[in-house]
Structure 1
Amino acid sequence: MTTSDIERAHPSALRSAETWIFDLDNTLYPARCNLFDQVDRRMSAFISRTLDIPQVEARAIQKKYFREYGTTLSGLMDRHGVNPAEFLGFVHDIDYSPITGDPRLAGALDRIAARKVILTNGTVAHAEAVVERLGIARHFDAIFDIEAAGYVPKPRPEPYHALLAREGIAPERAVMVEDIAQNLEIPAQLGMRTVWVRTDHAWSHPGVADEGAAPAAYVHHVTEDLGDFLELLLAAP
């Protein structure tokens, strides 16, 4: 795949969009910041402490629930009655210093004449901390988090429908940007244009063909750098 691909669908479909919907983690900031590594370790620690089990067993449960439920939290709520606010507060108590300001991304967002919102399986507080570090907080009109979604995570359809209803978004006039490919399937079905921010994390690739082959049909555009993609889009004829 190319670093930035705006050839699979005409760029005018993106430039004329009324709303851009952005995932947060590993999408608005690069995956090399490794924030998820911190969150990942804290999830294991929370499970170990809450269920009173060894770290190794806790990590196995964490990954099992992620695969089966879409998020570890959903599994913990269903199987163990875990308080979601307590879990989310604990796992997002992290060091945000690896994220630095991104003037290029801020400039590109400023030039996109459309409403911009965040749709995340994290919390509003976590999203606010991230966009403040990036210097792009002013660009977003709304943050729709896991609490607003009733703790139902992407890629299930409910969060997308709830966001569209709450914010009055017309899906056929919207763009969805995500680092986890399968989270773009429902947006594409709803009529959105989709942009996959490809990372090296294998878990972000479900539904996508092997390296060198075309991605799934619901992935309309591919990039490895969001700022680069937006600059190319804005410069395209």
Structure 2
Amino acid sequence: MNPSIETLNKYADTIRKLRYVGSIEIDYLSINCTKLKVLAIEIERLSAQPGLSPAIAELIQRNTHTLKTFLFRKQMSITSTTDIWEELANCQTINLIQVSSCNIHSGDMTSFWKACSKAKVLYLQAVKLYCGSSQPQADLLQFQFPRLRYLYISSMINVTNYSQLSIVAGAPKLEIFNWKPCHRSGFPIDEYQETFSQHCTRGFSSYIGLYGEGQSPGVHGWEIFNKRIIFAYVTTLKDHTQAKTWQL
């Protein structure tokens, strides 16, 4: 059984981590915590409670000087989440942002990428972007990712391989890039080679995994060591892995 709101407020000054799972009562988001380091929101449908998104934003606002980790998953929202991303972008200490199984609508796009641009570690998994008539590239080009060191992208919908290059190009400190594409996702080998050559000149010391299948060719995996890109790929799942090496 959950503790009462009165009890939580009594000890609010000592709470450093909060995790909300399943159905959330808005009153529990009003806890007067001001020293949170980790906030995890794991719910099924944000739209079920119209006031939930502003309440989450207000909780973030009360912790803009301490919050380091924000996890947002399992919400298939039909409501705007702009206020959440705007407050997250104002966090002065945010290091890790993880967003999973989430719909980002066209009106939320700018604030979403603005928040993501503040992170050192960024996980985006099964996130669907509803771009309307615009392209996600247009939103991404507005932002740099100056603090980003680790990027994990998996099964992003309506984010092309080309638009992902905007993140890489704007992340001069990027050390690890893990990428798992949606099915039938072709990979622009030459464009990625050029981007890494221009924007990651100091090279990577960590494994970079790219997995999946696609068109001409699908991606199997690659590694970068000492400014050298080793790119391995398969044209179909049944083909043997072939390797290609680039010297930067």
Above 0.5 in TM-score? Answer: no
TM-score by length of 1: 0.31
Highest relative contact order (Cα 8 Å, sep 6+), 1 or 2? 1
What TM-score do the two structures reach when normalised by structure 2? 0.30
Bigger Rg, structure 1 or 2: 2
Structure with higher strand content: 2
